[in-house]
A = this chain, B = another copy of it.
Amino acid sequence: MSDGLFQFLLRMGDNTLVLGHRISEWCGQAPGLEEDIALANTALDLIGQTQMWLGYAAEVEGAGRTADDLAFLRDVWDFRNLLMLERPNLDFGHTITRQFFFDAFHVLLLTRLQASSDARVAEIAAKSVKEAAYHLERSADLVIALGDGTDESHQRMQSAVDLLWPFAGEMFAADDVDNAMAAAGIAPDPASLRAEWQRKVDQVMADATLTLPESQFAHQGGKTGRQHTEHLGHMLAQMQWLQRAYPGATW
């Protein structure tokens, strides 16, 4: 169980860490000042959540590691984030569409986690869910505005949806870790979140005049760590540089 819980907590924390990193890459380069502020704020929330999830993960592991050790001293194979979140930002449309797909899932998951049988999980979820709800409100609004904007913005958003769709399914694919968490009442079976997620996504897509692809193919390998994309290694080379180059220093 404790290894299952550890894996589950890594998944939660790696998702927020990796997405937070990607969003932070927008610093000073967003389409407008309001977006710059909102993106920095989102990244900040996600890094804050990472501190809680990985902090608890480190405690559960009980090997004397810290949240920072987990963030800065693991190599790709030990990361447990969804593949979607490590993808490069590409354009703003891709960034926001990814954010929306994740936010819609994140809100449902955190809402359910507030009732976790693990008090610490419930507590972290309760602290995070309001932030996630705010992120979702914002990303959904942007998807709608840009889908239903100009011809160009519509076409860019549709491309983003087409590109990202095969990465959405991984959020709902359950494995042994998920089954163990569900059995222990720690976390819901991710598959049980799918229908409600789909309703939300369908509604936003409709308002945005965007169409979901029909294929149900889903890339796998991020949350299990079996096979990440090539992008994660490049992200870690940058993210972990200082800790790797100056081991043992305090900052």
Q: Which residues of A contact B (CB under 8 A)?
A: 75, 233-234, 237-238, 240-241, 244-245, 247
Contacts and interface: CB of A to CB of B under 8 A. Distances in A.
Interface class of chain A by DSSP: helix
Given A233-B241, A241-B241, 7 more contacts: A75-B245, A237-B237, A237-B238, A237-B241, A238-B238, A241-B244, A244-B244
B234 A240 contact: no
A237 B239 CA distance: 9
Nearest to A234: B238
Nearest to A242: B237
A160 to B, nearest CB: 23
Contacts of A240: 245
Contacts of A237: 237-238, 241
A210 to B, nearest CB: 31
A244 B241 CA distance: 8
13 contacts: A75-B245, A233-B241, A234-B238, A237-B237, A237-B238, A237-B241, A238-B238, A240-B245, A241-B241, A241-B244, A244-B244, A244-B245, A247-B247
A14 to B, nearest CB: 18
A237 B75 CA distance: 14
A242 to B, nearest CB: 9
Nearest to A233: B241
A238 to B, nearest CB: 5
Contacts of A233: 241
Contacts of A238: 234, 237-238
A203 to B, nearest CB: 40
